[in-house]
Amino acid sequence: MVRVRFAPSPTGHLHLGSARTALFNWLFARGQGGTFILRIEDTDPERSSRSMEESILRDLKWLGLDWDEGPDVGGPHAPYRQSERGEVYREHARLLVEKGLAYPCFCTPEQLEEKKRRALAEGRSPLYDGSCRDLSPGEIRRREAGGERPALRFRVPEREIAFQDLVHGLVRFPVGSVGDFIILRSDGRAGFHFSVVVDDATMGITHVIRGEDHLTNTARHLLLFEALGYPAPMYLHHSLLLGPDGGKMSKRHGATAVREYREMGYLPQALANYLALLSWSPPEGREVLDLGELVELFDIGDLSRSPAVFDRERLDWLNGKHLRRMPLEELVRVAGPFAPRWSGHPLFPVMVESVLDNITNLGELPGCLEAYGEPVEPEERAAEWLRGEVAAKVLEKAAQLLREHDIRSLEDAQEAVARLRRAFAGHDLKPKEILMPLRVALTGRDRGPALHYLIYVLGREECLRRLRLERGA
């Protein structure tokens, strides 16, 4: 059975690129009837925090991604936080020491930094030079008795490493491209590579789906799987998420965290839909897809190696499509928090419907609904529509029609607008010349919701009041 994992570090909010990795894993697991595991890589206590972990879990749930095993739901391989799995790592490290595949390293951070600096200055790869590789047992005991606390390094064999990646094909690492690396730090905490492999092995991970920035790490991981006697999973390294300038997606490109897009009013189904389309194309040209449709259509084998460039305009387009795809009742529910001034209005659903074609995200909703507030002093461009004999006649006729006909429904308002147009049918006027004076008189603006929505929501008496104020009647 397919078993995949998403293993974020709780050192910051969920990045769009990380969310895309989680989504690919989740879609693959759900499409294959497999298991999706959430594992927290928090072995760096200085940078990790429980609040960031909670933020990541919250954003994943908001996107609609659930997990079968994880820190909050448990599972047969608990615990799912690396900070709570220290004994598991130490047990596996002892196994490597017994096999002669790991050795203590007494080099200090300062010494290692100096070796790295010297190697780079000489044009060499800054691999560990093996200073402690062949220390005698007596030397090791003497140094430990003297209070030195060694790290534990993996003894890398001198041979080529190769594997078949599901996106990149055959990947080779030549002899000498990987140096002996730390598996346990001097304080006993597991190193990144070691904890990842031990967790993947003991949790039965069958496929590792991650960004191509981890491609070079795979050489170390394969060596560890072999040394520990576990079968290696299949690997797939997808393209990274890039900004419009071709650089790795970062703050200079604008918002990068899922949380930021949630707060701006993007829909979770739209963001998930967009992230899935980066490196993957659905069959038959279908683009607007909810999670259920994505699970049905997504094929991990169709992921492209091409760079995935984040295009905010494309996301806006998709989000608009999803907004207009939602049942109005559900849309009103999620829109309410973005427009608290209006959400309690009895006609709020009508107001939302009236501006739906004018917004790409719910954060734009309050600005579009301002037309329903008190009229503003028209700007010069808008004020032009109130000048002249035609405007005066239009406003007078609109007031007459509103006095003669009640507005009890949206259909009544549509009929009022139609009557106004018919009243000037023989005057050789453009529709704007008839309707724009009324719009500006009611709102002070020359743009906004369709006129019949304005008339219905404001109501007959309020419309007449505003027309009296405008006409000085």
CA neighbor of 11 nearest in space, from 58, 51, 64:
51
* Alpha helix stretches (DSSP H) within 32-76: 50-62
Which residue's structure tokens are 């989000």? 319
Euclidean distance between the first and final Cα of the chain, in Å?
78
Catalytic residues: 251
CA distances from 120 to 113, 117, 126, 217 (A): 11, 5, 6, 20
**DSSP-assigned letters across all residues of 250-317:** -GGGS--BHHHHHHHT--HHHHHHHHHHSS---GGG-----HHHHHHH--GGG--SS-EE--HHHHHH
Structure-token pair, residue 143: 């140094």
Element (H, E) at 153: strand 151-154
Which residue's structure tokens are 């460039």? 309
Q: What distance in Å separates the CA atoms of residue 121 and residue 116, rounded to the nearest whole number?
A: 9
Strands of 207-211's sheet in order across: 169-173, 161-165, 234-238, 207-211
Q: What angle do CA 251, 256, 258 make, to 5 degrees?
A: 155
Q: What distance in Å separates the CA atoms of residue 24 and residue 22, rounded to the nearest whole number?
A: 6
Cis peptide leading into 366, omega within 30 of 0?
no
